[in-house]
Amino acid sequence: MKNTLKILILTLSFSWGCTQNTQRNERVEYTTDPFPGEAGKTLDSHTRWDMWDKPAEGFLGEFVRVPRDEVVGFALYTHQNGKLKITAQLYPLKPEESREVRLEMKKNDQWEQVQKVDVVYPGWSAHFEIEDWDDSNDVPYRVLHGQEASFEGLIRKNPKDKKEIVVASLSCNSNQNRENRNAIVSKLKEQNPDLLFFAGDQSYDHKEHTAGWLLWGKQFKEVIRDRPVVTIPDDHDVGQGNVWGESGKKADSPAGDTGGYFYPAEYVNMVQRCQTSHLPDPADPTTVDQGITVYYTSLNVGGVDFAIVEDRKFKSGPAGKIPQMGPRPDHITEEGYDPAKVDLPSLTLLGDRQLNFLNEWGQDWTDTEMKAVLSQTAFCGAVHFHGSMDNRLLADLDCNGWPQTGRDNALKAMRRAFATHLCGDQHLSVVVKHGIDEFRDGPFAFTNPAIVNTYYGRWWWPKDEKAGAGAPINTELPWTGDYLDGLYNKITMYAYANPDFSTVKAMRDTLKRSEVNLGDGYGLIRFNKESREVTFEAWPRFADLSQGDAGQYPGWPIKFNMEENDGRKPVGYLPTLQFNKTNPVVQVISEETGEVLYTVRVQGESFQPPVYAQGKYTVNVGENKPDGWSKKQVTFGEDQIMEVSL
């Protein structure tokens, strides 16, 4: 018989200074089976509300039973456009303990309560939203439960006055090592990034997300407590080895290769609630099939605007839709296959909703100097060996290199905004410059290293062991240059960080030895708003920062200008635009095709727009969006000047 505890949650939202803003009522149920179906019975067993009636089992079962003054595990936040969002993560509460969680902030050296909410179960998370947030000052905060438990941190002011915005990029937190992450956290605290980006696989405990998520928070709490953090779940977070979400359909197995999610929507939504509720509100909150929520959105930090996309949720699964050309529906090993066979018009990658979002985001430069896209995985297959150096694949359809047309459309959306791409997932850190129609005509992309690379190894190792074609890359690494990946996508390899071992077992056996190279660690990305220069850094887990750039993986750092994210070669230029205001936004549209070539904030009081084909163009200019001035039927005119008055 199910025991049901119904709790009325009365959530009071307050703006700064405890002024009541809104009131809402929400009813939740605690049941012994919070996730429906047979598969649901196996989920989150270590953190269910009735866990206290049973003995703890295993590491995670013991780990979540903390002293009661430690039940507030950690908190994550972002703020944007006057709205602060905080998610507090609690350890499981006992039946007799209060479900109320309080948020306090320090003002004039005094702590003031600004909001209280009830914990949300399953998942034991608490969610705060503060309207009319003033982002011009640092503000200490603390989350409290009961009389003793608290977690303190700092809401940082918007670093819009900084010349350089620094982002740390991490993913793939192997559960083969449950120990602390101090080797990485200590370096991050010294390097002091403005934003932390965790690209997915924060937990590999497929059926125990809440416990695994709490462990991740404990490992990183000393660096996540005092700066904005973007966390997005990937396949392992929702309990699958791979996810092709197909707009939320139900998958028929944990392999998921027919498309969809295997575990109940309630579990997927819990994962997303814990990991993404602190992000800015979704661009379009409409749920997908099974009522699965979405979170794709954007976040502006200090004048760098980050689009956060979900590159799994809408993607088609391969099984039954394309010919199988390898040992699994998602692995291709057949030499010389026709790529058109796997790039069918019916297949989806980001989906129309997210492509429309990216195109709209790319045209809005409000408070923005530079742009980047954050997602789970890479838009190419920059890998040869998978799992071990005995397993060479041509293509892995888990990557965003497939379907190829969807990949190209996503990269074009980035290129229109001169946006850089950052991701994780691959367990192999690489830097590539994408090619869409030609080599090097697309944006730069940086795949970060795995945090601890002992779950699944990958290697970049061309079969002929030769450098690629094209202009040589200035690097000590031998296998760089222009290549076709296994899906026949054009990529230019700039750097890769292969582990020195040929099997995952060998990597696990040596994971605590600081002198060995497992290819793990984290990425650091610097956006210089004045010069428009982007710098990619790849730091080994046990790197010595005192060595400077020599402490990074060979081939890094890599520097390029934001404009290089559009690598197309101009065939001519439109007349020079002379502005009456500095640094406006310029958009160029082909009148023949209707395509937006680019929308970008330019520097200075003049700009000569490049174009890539003969024809007539519409030029739009504005202060933050291209909506203040427009001229149609503009043609080549390299010696002409057009006055633009805004």
Among 48-57, 145-154, 501-510, 611-620, the range scoring the smallest mean pLDDT is: 501-510
Same domain, 139 and 200: no
Last residue of one domain, picked from the residues 106, 138, 155: 155
Same domain, 202 and 115: no
pLDDT digits (tens, 9 = 90+) for 403-423: 999 999 999 999 999 999 999
Instruction: Cite the DSSP H helix spans in 432-472.
Output: none
Same domain, 561 and 583: no
Distance CA 402, CA 420 (A): 19
Q: What CATH number is associated with residue 39?
A: 2.60.40.380
Mean pLDDT of all residues in 554-570: 98
Per-residue tokens: 97 = 């303990």
Looking at the predicted structure, is the pLDDT value of residue 515 above 80?
yes
Q: What's the structural domain count of the chain?
A: 3
Can you give the pLDDT at residue 229?
Answer: 98
pLDDT digits (tens, 9 = 90+) for 72-119: 999 999 999 999 999 999 999 999 999 999 999 999 999 999 999 999
Per-residue tokens: 356 = 């429309």
Same domain, 252 and 335: yes
Same domain, 559 and 427: yes
Q: What CATH number is associated with residue 249?
A: 3.60.21.70
Same domain, 268 and 352: yes
Same domain, 535 and 587: no
Looking at the predicted structure, is the pLDDT value of residue 638 above 90?
no
Looking at the predicted structure, is the pLDDT value of residue 10 above 80?
no
Same domain, 129 and 17: yes
* Residue among 568, 573, 571 nearest 607 (CA): 573
How does residue 612 score in pLDDT terms, banded at 50, 70 and 90? very high
pLDDT digits (tens, 9 = 90+) for 29-47: 576 789 999 999 999 999 9
What DSSP line would sit under 261-317, residue for residue?
BSS-HHHHHHHHHHHHTTSPPPSS----GGG-----EEEEETTEEEEE--TTTTPPP
pLDDT digits (tens, 9 = 90+) for 239-265: 999 999 999 999 999 999 999 999 999
The SS3 of residue 222 is: helix
- Cα–Cα distances (Å) from 215 to 91, 187, 328, in that order, read 10, 20, 33
How does residue 8 score in pLDDT terms, banded at 50, 70 and 90? very low
Tell me the torsion sign for CA atoms 302, 304, 305, 308: negative
Distance CA 482, CA 128 (A): 48
State the residue range of the domain holding 631.
572-644
pLDDT digits (tens, 9 = 90+) for 462-504: 999 999 999 999 999 999 999 999 999 999 999 999 999 878 7
Distance CA 349, CA 337 (A): 21
Last residue of one domain, picked from the residues 124, 155, 186: 155
Last residue of one domain, picked from the residues 537, 565, 593: 565
Can you give the pLDDT at residue 315?
Answer: 98
Looking at the predicted structure, is the pLDDT value of residue 3 above 60?
no
Looking at the predicted structure, is the pLDDT value of residue 367 above 90?
yes
With residue 408 as reference, give the H or E element that holds it. helix 404-416
Give the relative orientation of helices 404-416 and 351-362 as an angle to the nearest 10 degrees.
Answer: 20
Looking at the predicted structure, is the pLDDT value of residue 539 above 70?
yes
Same domain, 15 and 151: yes
Same domain, 578 and 559: no
Same domain, 603 and 619: yes
Tell me how many degrees the CA angle 208-213-219 measures, rounded to the nearest 5.
130
Same domain, 124 and 209: no
